[in-house]
Each structure stands twice: as structure tokens, then as C-alpha cells.
Amino acid sequence: MDNVVFHVADVHKSFAGLHALSDIDLSVTEGETHAIIGPNGAGKSTLLNVCIGRLKPDSGSVVFDGNTLTGKKPHEINQLGVVRVFQTPEIFPDLTLLENVMVPCLAKRDGSFKLNWFKSFRGEKSIRDHAVETLVDVGLESQVGSHASNLSRGDKRRLELAMGLAQKPKLLLLDEPTAGMARHDTNATIDLLKRIKATGMTKVIIEHDMHVVFSLADRISVLAGGRIIAQGTPDEVKGNPKVVEAYLGEEQV
């Protein structure tokens, strides 16, 4: 594997004696779309939280682009170009859609702090144009000026995606980007993610929906019981008996 940009090495994490993650090894190369799948309670969200610095692993390290992410603050990780899109929409409910997307753009341009108190926020033309463009990309162009709290749940998720994409991340971590979406919204999101893939953005997707996973992923890691039980291209994973067992086991119950 050439040019690994994101590397999770030997990560362990336990809560009150319970092993949530053990021996996690994961390498993602530049431009790759890597999916993490697994039955409920397999540790997917814990893994993502470790990647984003919300949880500190007991041992092991997470390295992105030569920088160790473990122990860094959330804003430092973001400033390195690692952006996370949350499963439950995390937006700014009191701001308009446009402002919701402009704010992350400013984080990208001005860094983690800038005392920019004299200029006009609305006068930031290039930031504004870019934000509108991104909102058009996710299909929210008709509601640019309305308050984010008025959005439907599905639209909130799209807004959050726009907030992430607007930062042009080097690595995008997506937590079940289509969960709770209607079918045609899901398809629209898949199309959008495919277009992003064409730009060469590296992505890690945690997803339940196999349709989404197999339409997007270059490689897949299967997580079960806090361990990676299989890793490979979609075709390799599909045929792996262990994976079938892990999933069938769940489905029959």
C-alpha cells in the first residue's frame, strides 16, 4: 500500500473493564474511501470517537499525515484537515443555513482563533460564495436564508454534510451519512459522495446500509466485538465466511 495518510495502530480501549476495542489496525491511503461496517455494538462509534480525539485510547496511536491525533484537542484535529460528520446532526440551530456553512469556512481560512472584529461578516464575499456553492451541492439552495432549527431531520443531516465539505477536508470521517434518510435522499447522498470521491478526497465511512457501502467503498473493514475480523475490497469481504457469520448471527436473533 503506497502513501498511507491515515493510520490507526494497535488501538485498545475499554470501559469499566469491558473491551470496546482491541488490536485495531487500520490504514487508509490517499484518495481511498474506506468503509467500516459491523453489527450493532461492534464498536464502530467508539472507533470513530477515538479517531476524532473525543475519546482517548488506552493504548495505541492514531496518526494522520505524520501527525499523532491521540491527545490532541478537537479543534487542533480539525485544523489538520480531519473533519467529522456526526450521526445525530450537530448544527448551529440559531443561525441561518448560510451562516452555518460560512462559519466552518472561516475556521479553514482564519485558523482556530482570529480577533476579526471590525470587518463585516456578510462582506466576506469569497467565503459566502463558497458556502452557497456547497449548499447547492447538497441540494439546500432553496433555504439558504432560513434558520437551521426549522429544517427537517434529513435536511439537517445534509446541512451538516455541507458544513464538513465546505472545509475541503483532507480526511472526511462520516458517521452513517444516510441513516434516517428516505430512499431518494439516500441515493442523492450517494451521488454526492461519489462526486466528492472523484475529487480525490480521502474518506472513512461508518455505515449500516450495505447498499451505500458497496456503491462507495474501495476497501472495507468489518468490525465485530471490538475487533477487525476482516479487511479487503468489497468483493473479498462479501465472500468472507466470518463476515457472513457475524452478520447472519445478528440477523437471525
121 binds another protein per the rule CB under 8 A: yes
- Stretch of 140-148, 181-189, 195-203, 216-224 contacting another protein, by CB under 8 A: 140-148
Closer to another protein at the Cβ: 47 or 230?
Answer: 47
74 binds another protein per the rule CB under 8 A: yes
- Stretch of 40-48, 141-149, 187-195, 223-231 contacting another protein, by CB under 8 A: 141-149
- Stretch of 21-29, 38-46, 67-75, 212-220 contacting another protein, by CB under 8 A: 67-75
Instruction: Give the number of other Cβ atoms within 10 Å of residue 200's Cβ.
Output: 9
144 binds another protein per the rule CB under 8 A: no
Report the b/e string of 47-80 with b at 16+ CB within 10 A. bbbbbbbebebeebebbbbeeebbebeeeebbeb
71 binds another protein per the rule CB under 8 A: no
Handedness of CA 244, 212, 61, 31 (dihedral sign): positive
DSSP string, 74-135: HHHHHHTTEEEE-SS----TTSBHHHHHHHHHHHHHH-S-----SS-STT-HHHHHHHHHHH
Closer to another protein at the Cβ: 12 or 147?
Answer: 147
177 binds another protein per the rule CB under 8 A: no
Q: Which H or E element spans position 227? A: strand 227-232
Q: Which residues bind another protein (CB under 8 A)?
A: 52, 73-75, 78-79, 84, 86, 90-96, 99, 102-104, 106-108, 110-125, 145-147, 163, 167
